Structure 1
Amino acid sequence: MQITIDLPPDLEQDLLRQAEQSNVPLQTLILQALRQMIQAPSVSTSQWPEVILSYEGSPDFPAFESYRDELLPPRELELF
């Protein structure tokens, strides 16, 4: 399949520069970028939302880490 797209001049120059620095043909660089974009999960599903990341907890409750010593160790799988 052949697809023709119009690139803004700045993006074209960036792609040409990256291809030259990487010592790969421009077509290969573009194909790699497209494959990576398709295979990578979207940012929204691969990261916690900002509201979760910025949560500081309640000062009335002990920190979760204070219970770490009470946690059971992981079970070891029997291989045979």
Structure 2
Amino acid sequence: MQIMIDLPPDLEQDLIRQAAQSNVPLQTLILQALRQLIHSKSDSTSQWLEVILSYKGSPDFPAFESYRDELLPPREAELF
């Protein structure tokens, strides 16, 4: 399949430069970038950044889960 797209000149130059530095054809570089984008999206189960996911909290602060027993149950919806 062939797809034709119009790239902004700055992006085109960046791609050409990166392909030359990596010593790979421009088409190969673009295919690698697309594959990486598709795989990273499908492998990702969360939209959270790694820095958020790896946050351990403060040892001086009680864990959020410790407050669960104090939470009130959700109110039943009133139908009438």
TM-score bracket for this pair, using the shorter chain length: 0.5 to 0.7
Written as runs of structure 1 = structure 2, the 5 A alignment for 1:1-80 is 1-40=1-40, 41-42=43-44, 44=47, 47=50, 49=52, 53=55, 55-59=57-61
* Structure 2 unaligned regions, length at least 5: 64-80
In the superposition, the TM-score normalised over structure 2's length comes to 0.57
Provide TM-score, normalisation by structure 1.
Answer: 0.57
Q: Which runs of 5+ in 1 are unaligned?
A: 62-80
CA drift of 1:36 comes to: 0.8
CA gap of 1:25–1:59, structure 2 versus 1, over 3 A, is: closer
Amino acid at match of 2:50: Q
Quick one: percent identity of the two aligned structures? Answer: 58
In the comparison of the two structures, how many residue pairs are matched?
60
Runs of 4+ displaced beyond 2 Å: 45-50, 52-61
**1:56 is aligned with what amino acid?**
S
